[in-house]
Chains A and B, each alone.
Chain A
Amino acid sequence: MALIKNGLLVRDTFENAAGLDELPDRGAVLVSLDQWREHRDQLLRRRERLGLLLLSDQHPKEISADVHYFDLIALDFPGFRDGRAYSYARLLRERFKFTGELRAVGDVLLEQLHYMHRVGFNSFDLDSEQPLAEWKTAAGEFSVWYQPTADGRATATELRHWRNERLRASAM
């Protein structure tokens, strides 16, 4: 597996503890929702970076008041057809104001990276031999968007508006 974060190939600095019986003593960890609920105090006392893994049937409203504790939230795609996490990502970014790393994990296809980026993911766990090249292809596939979403890109409607303003200004 390879991790692309903010357009760069990086090393994953979080230890995936989601399946472990015991939490590691030190270092950044990624924990499950159950672990977070059960070991919340212990995890906060560690004073290490903290990541949370949410499965596709775990709505982020469960942790909406806690998002500021997490440096990383990973949303799982159990199959590429399961699109729930696209909505979760937008809710985390737009409604719950999560500003940390939002990572797509699981069955993540090249062709989906563009959509994932648009809804607010900024890192991607890819099963690929050329992750960086794949990311660059996917990220550059489109330059026009109609919908206002979490990535804050200007929509076609906004671009049209600005174009018309410019035309008006230059005509004066």
Chain B
Amino acid sequence: MYRYDEFDQELVSERVEQFGRQVTRRLNGELNEDQFKPLRLMNGLYLQLHAYMLRINVPYGCLSSRQLRALAHIARVYDKGFGHFTTRQNLQFNWIKLEDVPDALAALAEVEMHCIQSSGNCIRNITSDQYAGRASDEIEDPRVFCEIIRQWYTLHPEFAYLPRKFKIAVTGSPNDRAAVAVHDIGLRMHVNSAGEPGFEVIVGGGQGRTPHIGKTIRDWLPVEQLLSYLEAILRVYNLYGRRDNIYKARIKILVNHLGINEFRRQVHEEWEFIKDGSLNIPHEEINRINAYFAPPAYEKLDDLGPELDGLGETNDEFQAWMRSNVAEHKVAGYAIVNLSLKGPDRPPGDLTADQMDAVADLADHYSFGELRVNHRQNLVFVDVKQSELKELWGKLKSLGLATPNIGHVTDMICCPGLDYCALANARSIPIAEKITERFEGLKRLHAIGDLTINISGCVNACGHHHVGNIGILGVDKKGKEYYQFTLGGSSDQNASLGDRTGPGFSADEAAGAVETIVNTYLDVRQNGEPFLDAYRRVGMAPFKEALYGAD
């Protein structure tokens, strides 16, 4: 993975010192909360319901075991012994004290981590495919370009005060695991007719209270011109994005207001001036970054073939885990292993400090000391020997990280909700718990198959409810929590927004409504089609009838 050189390290150290000075000024009263707010927000520090929350960037979801141990240390010393992985592949600590933040940042800087631009109206942490560099369906490793983009936007002086936050996601594979169509900018690698890799550029996607699937502004962009093109888009947005209304300030509103053709014309007019200038990425730089992502020292192994199936193990749970949590690797003899953070005993995405340390040890032993965070709030070991899968499974199981549910009903995306968040209207974690209880049985879970449930505790949609196959949105109705349902959402290469089922359900009814929807699906299912295919085929009617009765 990428390692800081002296320049990267210097910048982060200087940022730590700068923020330390700002915290001192706040604590001794030179700055009031109003003046301090924009400063702390540029550094990922939010004031939540009960305490400060610190959001730490995990660039494009890549972590080393050393970094994870540092996060465990911070969780133990400065927080309540756990952290929360988010849909931005980041980590949040929910109980941090202001006076401890400079020390926590210094501990992070020692392992090449920081919180720069993890909040505020600026370009946020870039996200990508959790299988990057390992997936057999990939054209090129997107992490190289993620890192080039990360450096470009870090402390970019022109774009620190955008109309609103700005999120970029990159995939190197035609099978989109990074939800690029619901980002402000999504980059999807394609090969052109001459066989050269470049990027399709998608703009104006997003969730929140006005969800949009992004539109393609350019079919194919040479990789060398990536930064100048991004700069042209950001400049048009910075100049013409709305600043009078926070709810209409994202780029999706501008793109829809102008129409994609006019927006494209404005971007290209701007781009003409800068496209052959100093932002062109030299090949020397692409090669330099590429070297950091060289494959690890794989052994020459053969795929285990049919015997991989169950590995001679008759244990149902192990076989289920092999089916749902283990994915194909492009190198023979290796596999990708997903660690589920959606067990019955935890809020989705949470990991304790002790588990972090244990996972770091396992990463060292089984996966070259690296791991990934995915946008569904799970962890991934990307380089596990097939012959060691069973042993690793046993160890993950004893840590409570081998729940065989990846991609299934209980692998829910869930925002922190009203249990933590100052913006939320309703709780999300207890809804996830109740759904988990209902679908605990292994056989049933796997009989239902691929089905994503995404839960948000308010319209800001941090839990991605618009693009869940089943989306659940918590709202406040006269002081009571209600949950609205959407069906048919998806964030993959055929992204779609979910359709509202009708009136919402109370907190007590929500899990039952999920069960009704799942049972209806099982009734209409043909030839083992997944939920999304069935919904797209039969539409809303049978689900509506099951939920609300016939008219």
Contacts and interface: CB of A to CB of B under 8 A. Distances in A.
A87 interface: yes
B11 A119 contact: no
Contacts of B21: 137
Interface residues on A, range: 20 to 34
Contacts of A161: 282, 284
A101 to B, nearest CB: 19
A157 B14 contact: no
B151 A84 contact: no
Contacts of B282: 157, 161
Say whether chain B's binding surface is mostly helix, strand, loop, or mixed: helix
A160 B238 contact: no
Contacts of A141: 14, 17-18
Nearest to B9: A144
Given A84-B238, A146-B151, A148-B279, A115 B10 contact: no
B7 A147 contact: no
A86 B161 contact: yes
A10 interface: no
Contact of A144 (B14, B22, B163): B14
Nearest to A91: B235
B10 A143 contact: yes
B158 A87 contact: yes
Interface string B273-306: 1000111001011001000000000000000000
Contact of A145 (B155, B161, B162): B155
A89 B152 CA distance: 19
Interface string B314-331: 000000000000000000
A83 B160 contact: yes
Interface in B98-151: 121, 151
Contact of B238 (A87, A149, A156): A87
Interface string B1-38: 00001011011001101100110000000000000001
B39 interface: yes
Interface in B31-60: 38-39
Contacts of A157: 151, 282, 285
B121 A81 contact: yes
Interface string A70-113: 00000000001111101100100001000000000000010110
A9 interface: no
Contact of B157 (A82, A114, A137, A160): A114
B39 A83 contact: no
A95 B273 contact: yes
A102 B10 CA distance: 29
Contact of A90 (B7, B151, B158, B160): B158
A114 B156 CA distance: 11
A66 to B, nearest CB: 19
Contacts of A143: 10, 14
A146 B154 contact: yes
A67 B8 CA distance: 37
B88 to A, nearest CB: 21
A88 B152 CA distance: 19
Nearest to A116: B157
Interface of A: 59, 80-84, 86-87, 90, 95, 109, 111-112, 114-116, 118-119, 137, 141-149, 156-157, 159-161
